[in-house]
Chain A
Amino acid sequence: MAASTTLSSSITTFKLSPHQPRASSVFNPLPSVKLPSISFNNLFNPLISRCVPTPKSSTISPLRSAASSTTPEATTAATTFHGVCYVVGDNIDTDQIIPAEYLTLVPSNPDEYKKLGSYALCGLPSSYQTRFVEPGEFTSKFSIIIGGDNFGCGSSREHAPVALGAAGVAAVVAESYARIFFRNSVSTGEVYPLESEVRICEECKTGDVVTVELGENRLINHTTGKEYKLKPIGDAGPVIEAGGIFAYARKAGMISSREA
Chain B
Amino acid sequence: MASSAIASSSTAFINKKDVGLSAFSPQPSFSVLSARKRIPKKIVSVMTPQQTERKPATTGSVKTGMTMTEKILAKNSDKPEVSPGDNVWVNVDVLMTHDVCGPGSIGIFKKEFGQNAKVWDREKLVIIPDHYIFTADERANRNVDILRDFCTEQNIKYFYDIKDLGNFRANPDYKGVCHVALAQEGHCRPGEVLLGTDSHTCTAGAFGQFATGIGNTDAGFVLGTGKILLKVPPTLRFVMDGEMPDYLLAKDLILQIIGEISVAGATYKAMEFVGTTVESLTMEERMTLCNMVVEAGGKNGVIPADKTTYDYLEGRTSVPYEPVYSDEGARYLKEYRFDVSKLEPLVAKPHSPDNRALARECKDVKIDRVYIGSCTGGKTEDFMAAAKVFLASGKKVKVPTFLVPATQKVWMDVYSLPVPGSGGKTCSQIFEEAGCDTPASPSCGACLGGPKDTYARMNEAQVCVSTTNRNFPGRMGHKEGQIYLASPYTAAASALTGYVTDPREFLQ
Which residue on chain A has the smallest CB distance to residue B198?
A156
B450 & A101 in contact (Cβ 8 Å cutoff): yes
List, in ascending order, chain A residues with CB within 8 A of B132's CB: 103-104
A123 & B217 in contact (Cβ 8 Å cutoff): no
Nearest-CB distance from B497 to chain A (Å)? 28
Chain B positions 209-268 with a Cβ under 8 Å from a chain A Cβ? 213-218, 220-221, 224-225, 227, 229-231, 233-234, 263-264, 267-268
Q: How far is the CA of A189 from the CA of B406 in the complex (A)?
A: 35
B114 & A29 in contact (Cβ 8 Å cutoff): yes
Chain A positions 23-79 with a Cβ under 8 Å from a chain B Cβ? 23, 25-31, 33, 35-37, 41-42, 44-45, 47-53
B35 & A107 in contact (Cβ 8 Å cutoff): no
Nearest-CB distance from A254 to chain B (Å)? 10
B115 at the interface (CB under 8 A from A): yes
B117 at the interface (CB under 8 A from A): yes
A16 at the interface (CB under 8 A from B): no
Provide the A120-132 mask, 1 if CB < 8 A to any CB of B, else 0: 0001111000000
A107 & B138 in contact (Cβ 8 Å cutoff): no
A7 at the interface (CB under 8 A from B): yes
Q: How far is the CA of A105 from the CA of B225 in the complex (A)?
A: 26
Q: How far is the CA of A99 from the CA of B32 in the complex (A)?
A: 25
List, in ascending order, chain A residues with CB within 8 A of B365's CB: none
A108 & B103 in contact (Cβ 8 Å cutoff): yes
A208 at the interface (CB under 8 A from B): no
Interface size in chain B (residues, C-beta < 8 A): 92
Nearest-CB distance from B121 to chain A (Å)? 14
Q: Provided the pairs A25-B111, A35-B227, A156-B197 are in contact, do residues A7 and B268 lie with their beta carbons within 8 angstroms?
A: no
B103 & A106 in contact (Cβ 8 Å cutoff): yes
Nearest-CB distance from A239 to chain B (Å)? 11
Partner of B470, one of A6, A50, A95, A175: A95
List, in ascending order, chain B residues with CB within 8 A of A33's CB: 113, 224-225
Which residue on chain B has the smallest CB distance to residue A125?
B473
A149 & B114 in contact (Cβ 8 Å cutoff): no
B233 & A244 in contact (Cβ 8 Å cutoff): no
Main secondary structure of the interface of B (DSSP, over half): loop
A51 & B34 in contact (Cβ 8 Å cutoff): no
Which residue on chain A has the smallest CB distance to residue B404?
A1
Partner of B453, one of A3, A103, A178: A3
Q: How far is the CA of A8 from the CA of B31 in the complex (A)?
A: 39
A138 at the interface (CB under 8 A from B): no
A187 & B441 in contact (Cβ 8 Å cutoff): no
Q: How far is the CA of A11 from the CA of B139 in the complex (A)?
A: 7
A residues whose Cβ falls under 8 Å from a Cβ of B: 1-8, 10-11, 23, 25-31, 33, 35-37, 41-42, 44-45, 47-53, 90-91, 93, 95-96, 99-101, 103-109, 123-126, 148-150, 153-159, 175-176, 178-180, 183-184, 187-188, 244-246
Given contacts A3-B165, A100-B475, 5 further A-B contacts (CB under 8 A): A1-B440, A7-B137, A51-B269, A109-B107, A149-B35
6 nearest CB pairs, A to B? A108-B107, A158-B215, A156-B213, A184-B215, A48-B231, A104-B139
